[in-house]
Amino acid sequence: MLRLLDQNRDLIASWKVVRYEQEGDAYLLQITAVLADDSRLQLRDYVFADGSRKYAYHWMEDDGTLRRRWDNAPHWPDVPTTPHHMHLPDKEEPEASTVTNIEDLIDYLRRWRELNE
């Protein structure tokens, strides 16, 4: 994951590991990043000993206003891509999402930039 952040410096201006814990194959990784447009990312990725995974990628403006948040919390069973979903500003219910890992997130950010330049 860290190598991907470094390989995409045109999108990601800086990043910092906030927390990393590993026990066997299980780990917890938390990263904060500043994007080239000064927006911010907070990335949390957990892999448990049984191989299951929990993640949340929170993308916000530099003032903290939500742009998007992707996660796989199982409390939205009606979303077609459940448990994966995306929260949008000013919407109570999330939308379907195919962003499920850092590679997908970087692709999404790259497409966003191309559409909004």
pLDDT digits (tens, 9 = 90+) for 2-50: 888 899 999 999 999 999 999 999 999 999 999 999 999 999 999 999 9
Q: Over the Cα atoms of the chain, what is R_g?
A: 14
Q: Is the pLDDT of residue 78 over 90?
A: yes
Cβ within 8 Å of residue 48, ≥6 positions away: 26, 54
How many Å separate Cα 30 from the centre of its chain?
Answer: 10
pLDDT, residue 1, reads: 75
pLDDT, residue 2, reads: 81
Q: Is the pLDDT of residue 116 over 90?
A: no
The answer to whether the peptide bond before residue 83 is cis (omega within 30 degrees of 0) is yes
